[in-house]
Amino acid sequence: MQDQTNMAEPSVSSSLSGYWMPFTANREFMIHPRLMESAFGMYYQSVNGRRILDGTSGLWCTPLGHAHPGIVQAVRDMVGRLDYSPAFHMGHPAAFQLAQELLAFAGGRFGQVFYANSGSESVDTALKIALAYHHARGDTGRTRLIGRERGYHGVGFGGMSVGGIAANRKSFGPLLPGVDHLPHTHSLEHNAWSRGQPAWGAHLADDLERLVALHGAHTIAAVIVEPVAGSTGLLIPPRGYLERLRAICDAHGLLLIFDEVITGFGRVGAPFAVDRFGVVPDMITVAKGLTNGVIPMGAVMVKDHIHDAFMRGPDGIELLHGYTYSGHPVACAAGLAALAAFRDEGVLENVRSLEAYWEDAVHALRGLPHVIDIRNIGIAAAIELEPLPGKPGARAFELFRQAFERGILIRVTGDTIALSPPLILKRQHIDELLGKLGDLLRATA
């Protein structure tokens, strides 16, 4: 294919009106539109034929790359056989098969799957299950939820309430009452330039004891954290941190929820962060890689003791919650095909074989202009930049625009560049992605 990396995208026209884009500077986009036409494997193709190396797995959601043949065929087959089946008081075989295979992929640590349609819905579902679980057990005073600063748990009112990214909260208050937050774990003073889990910061989990003392354990239903905080700029848990959270929750009867929407499906070099860190919560939320981003789908995996508490009540509907598209047949087909690819195609083995090479390549950017921190885990990394005075986020966003013009897709959050390429990558893709990004950083001097 002809190298056209310096060609601009088509100028804005009336064909781009009418769509209010999410989490987007819409006015800027209309001046500098970035339009994708197709995708395959590690690359997108823009509307003017440029190849764009996907350095972000879309939005962390295509670990198997784009247009995976097995998933494409499974979706085609299912949509022609069973395009929709009601989710209430009815089912279809693929929903039960996917649940069983998903639980097996999670190592048999959980007993039941509840389907949603996105990470946001999965989080709100998990929070509702936590509240209803305590109610079903007669512990009706446990209504408080604990999140974490700089946490991201989607855009539902539950997820925003336990989330801790200030800009995502400010326009929508008041949010849910009875919510508190743990401190985040990132410190440039103590854990900058970490490779894998930083050594400093496990003690920050002890702040949960302060919240228990403040509110009373009898008022707290659940604690929710991302094992690795993704959307805030890849904050990796300090060694011992998750273990302390688990121990404190156990001591006070609090449910622990891991939001694995980003960390699930191989991103951290294991099926889930549960496997990587060896800490098992009561529930995990998943989405994104569940169907490789092909069809919207989310899920909550719960421990048996949670599900069983609902089954001991009176006959009838045990949980008054669900969605029209829960366990959608086409999404289930995509999920089954994605799990088959993880099982049969050596994806996790590829991650483990490349993790050290990825780590070295990312940290080779240390010392380039305006780089103030680099951190990594699995096949994910963050390059934190010094903000422009009085213009937070501007430096990274300009690099995002230039990177697209150079043929690589990166993601920025504030002044942090987040990288999470598809897990089918090879060394040459790492070299291309980090090589071009390094050139761009050098040019900012």
Within its chain, how far is the Cα of 317 from the centroid?
31
DSSP assignment of 161-209: HH---HHHHTTS-S--SSEEEEPP---HHHHTT-BSS-SS-GGGGGHHH
> How confident is the model over 328-338, as pLDDT tens digits?
999 999 999 99
Opening angle at CA 52, ends 418 and 356, nearest 5: 45
CA atoms within 13 A on the CB side of 159: 20
Measured CA distances, 322 to 94, 317, 334 (Å): 18, 11, 20
Residue 208: per-residue pLDDT:
98
Distance CA(29)–CA(7), nearest Å, equals 16
Distance CA(158)–CA(151), nearest Å, equals 13
> How confident is the model over 206-229, as pLDDT tens digits?
999 999 999 999 999 999 999 999
Distance CA(428)–CA(421), nearest Å, equals 12
Long-range Cβ pairs for the range 432-438 (8 Å, 24+):
432/53, 432/408, 433/53, 433/55, 433/408, 434/361, 434/362, 434/364, 434/365, 436/53, 436/403, 436/406, 436/407, 436/408, 437/55, 437/365, 437/383, 437/399, 437/403, 437/408, 437/410, 438/364, 438/365, 438/368
Distance CA(168)–CA(163), nearest Å, equals 8
Sheet with 144-148: list strands edge to edge: 112-116, 298-302, 283-286, 255-259, 220-225, 144-148, 179-182
Residue 398: per-residue pLDDT:
97
Spatial CA neighbour of 343 closest among 268, 261, 421, 265 = 265
Tokens of 282: 């009561």
Residue 121: per-residue pLDDT:
98
Tokens of 236: 């990796």
Tokens of 266: 């191989």
Collect the ranges in the chain with pLDDT lower than 70. Answer: 1-14
For residue 28, with 0-12 CB atoms within 10 Å meaning exposed, 13-18 middle and 19 or more buried, which class applies? exposed
Q: What is the pTM of this model?
A: 0.95
Distance CA(127)–CA(158), nearest Å, equals 7
Residue 2: per-residue pLDDT:
40
Residue 312 has a CB neighbour count (10 Å cut-off) of 9
Residue 203 has a CB neighbour count (10 Å cut-off) of 12
Residue 15: per-residue pLDDT:
85
Residue 35: per-residue pLDDT:
97
Spatial CA neighbour of 420 closest among 371, 357, 358 = 358
Residue 13: per-residue pLDDT:
59
Distance CA(57)–CA(378), nearest Å, equals 14
Q: Which domains, ranges and CATH numbers included, belong to the chain?
A: 14-64+346-442 (3.90.1150.10), 69-344 (3.40.640.10)
DSSP 77: H
Residue 173: per-residue pLDDT:
86
Residue 39: per-residue pLDDT:
98
Residue the block writes with tokens 């090479």? 357
Tokens of 178: 């009875």
Helix (H) or strand (E) holding 210: helix 207-215
Distance CA(419)–CA(234), nearest Å, equals 9
Verify cis geometry, omega within 30 degrees of 0, for the bond prior to 22: no
Within its chain, how far is the Cα of 329 from the centroid?
23
Tokens of 423: 């897990």
Spatial CA neighbour of 178 closest among 147, 213, 135, 133 = 147
